Chains A and B, each alone.
Chain A
Amino acid sequence: MKVFVVDDHDLFRAGVRAELADTFEVVGEASDTDAAIELIREREPDVVLLDVHLPGGGGRIVVEEVRKTHPDIVFLAISASDAPEDVVSVVHAGARGYVTKTIATAELIDAIARVAEGDAVFSPRLAGFVLDAFSAIPVGEVDPELDSLSAREREVLQYIARGYTYREIAEELYISVKTVESHVSAVLRKLQLSNRHELTRWAHQRRLVD
């Protein structure tokens, strides 16, 4: 499987490349927005490991631009920053998940493999952001299809925020891992289709707190 690494931090890129080299074929790397868009289109990787913060526009622009021409390329967002508006904007643009840079190598490899298979990868922090985002959308401006979570989806997100893996959640709820995955994917879809305006407003408010 072909992986592409985008990060403006040279040491981090080199480290990740070394960590992933045994499992995946790392087909390229880039350190800024424009180079990332151009090289990803040229190398056509399966998964792009994408830093949220990038010089020249940021991860969101990369996702938006690449997906216009290559909708099949999958993005996994990664960052050291906890600024929720940045994280949510990248996921909203189409990234399949978000992990923090402190993630262990084995977990990162697992996360990349999972997004490549079409799963959504939610770190506890992203689950917290998403719960917060959806609870912040005021009643009355809610489109039940897109702007609210089902009880089960909330439950699954709460488990993720509590540090449970998909397997552990499946055991807790007596459902299959596949069902957990489909709940998470549904949440991701809602997050991506839900209105940008509301999410942005939430992110700005949240930024003052977080």
Chain B
Amino acid sequence: MSAGAVVEVVVEVGGGGEVVVGSVVGVHAATTSAEAATRRSPGRRIRCTGGSVPPGSVGATEVLIPQDPNTLHRRASILDRLADGDDLEVAFRRIALGARLVGLGWMTVLVVLALASGTLVRPVHGWILGGAAVAWGLASLAGARRRLDLVTARGSVTVDIVLAGYALFAPRLAGAPDQLFYGGYPLIVVAVAAVRSRKAVTAAAAVLSGLSLARLAVGDVAGVVEAASQVITYTVGAAIFWWVLEVLRRSEGERRAALEAVADARARAARAEERAEVATHLHDSVLQTLALIQRRAADAEEVAALARSQERELRRWLFEGGSAPGDGLAEGLRAIGAEIEDRHRVRVEVVTVGDAPSSPTVAALLAATREAIVNAARHSGEQEVAVFAEVAEGRATVYVRDRGRGFDPASVPADRRGLAESIVGRIERVGGRVEVISTPGRGTEVRLEVSP
């Protein structure tokens, strides 16, 4: 692997979950990032994936394993599932989980009381039912934490029905048929099944009603009225749960469709507005300039100047979102270059590396640069001026260069001495330096340096 390859730093957290700490470039960066991750979460396994990073290069942490496509796939599928998660269904499942825990807890309390009273001939059934209720409750909780659906999955509903059925018959099996273990659990099972599907809720109601009738047959239930009330509770309960959920689901669907329609309409309006804005801008700027260019077609210099200033305006609009210019060195130089291009009919190529915020020193540098560019535009006889500014290591340096006629610095003409003075004076007052290099016939370069 080349030192510059992208390395993904992955921290494995408890329970097999993983957190991507970040993608970084190069072994050095991966090492730094992994070490930082180790400090933040000591004891975690840390892997860098993305290539054969040498083992042990990440401090005292885990051996580095090359990229494993399954890991990436697993992570992607978890993310997909989260993204697909329907808010309403997530809420339903959460409520169902809570209800199940209440039902299981209720049942456990009843079983524990029966065990404590010592009325059970065969207490093993009490232990089995209580243990199963606790285990199933814990499993449901653990599943929710791992984002596994142990609430409304088909198998889960089956477990609920079987457990509720067992709870109905456990007192008889334990030799104390007048005890009551199930509490509200069977009705809750019907409700949880309703969250899953119509088929599940029908099956739950049917099975539990059937078992209630079976209890009547074996004599566990005192009379027809009690059995019938149980059957009615489960079947009517199933119908009511299903109906409530359906109403909520339907209204959620309608709400969602309405939201999408609104978002769609808004996006369309935004696009139309954007198009109108572009049209307006082009009309006010480019079309006007093109009309001007046609009218002044005879004046080549004027046409070039119009085209240049339009190009600059359009470019600013396209790439800077039409925002107001900043006031640092780079922006200041661009503004000065633009102004002189328009006024003196020369092309000013401004290149900047780095930037310095506005300050009295930067203002002096800009003013001096402006003088230097104007000088070049007026006296060089050339159509191009190159301006280069670099801010590095606390110094700002500006070069203004033309390939024009140049001059002999030793015999500066009087009119140029004054201007040189306004450049040199400005820069020296802020503690900077000016250098003018010029040879007749070979152009001029002015070098301005300050510490902003």
Contact = CB atoms under 8 A, between A and B. Distances in A.
B386 A195 contact: no
B353 A162 contact: no
B392 interface: yes
Q: Which 5 A-B residue pairings sit nearest by Cβ, starting from the closest?
A: A163-B386, A128-B351, A195-B4, A162-B388, A161-B388
B181 to A, nearest CB: 63
Interface of B: 3-4, 6, 23, 25-26, 28-29, 32, 311, 315, 318-319, 326, 330, 347, 349, 351-355, 384, 386, 388, 390, 392, 399, 401, 403, 445
Nearest to B308: A102
Nearest to B351: A128
Given A195-B26, A197-B25, A83 B347 contact: no
Interface of A: 80-83, 102, 124-125, 127-128, 131-132, 135, 140-141, 143, 146-147, 158, 161-164, 193-195, 197-198, 207, 209-210
A141 B26 contact: yes
28 contacts: A82-B319, A83-B319, A102-B311, A124-B349, A124-B388, A128-B353, A132-B353, A132-B354, A135-B353, A135-B354, A135-B392, A140-B28, A141-B26, A141-B28, A143-B3, A146-B3, A161-B351, A161-B388, A162-B386, A162-B388, A162-B399, A163-B384, A163-B388, A163-B403, A193-B4, A195-B6, A195-B25, A210-B319
Contacts of A198: 25
Given A125-B351, A132-B354, 7 more contacts: A124-B388, A128-B352, A135-B354, A143-B4, A162-B399, A193-B4, A197-B6
A198 B25 CA distance: 8
Nearest to B392: A135
Contact of A147 (B4, B6, B353, B445): B4
A131 B353 contact: yes
A132 B352 CA distance: 8
Nearest to A145: B3
Nearest to A136: B354
A128 B23 CA distance: 28
Contacts of A197: 6, 23, 25
A193 B2 CA distance: 10
B401 A162 contact: yes
B1 to A, nearest CB: 12
Contacts of B399: 162
B315 A163 contact: no
Nearest to B27: A143
A140 B354 contact: no
B103 to A, nearest CB: 54
A120 to B, nearest CB: 17
Contact of A141 (B29, B330, B355, B445): B29
Given A124-B388, A143-B4, A143-B26, A163 B32 contact: no
Contact of A81 (B32, B318, B352): B318
B58 to A, nearest CB: 15
Contacts of A207: 319
A209 B329 CA distance: 11
Nearest to B319: A83
Contacts of A82: 315, 319
A162 B448 CA distance: 13
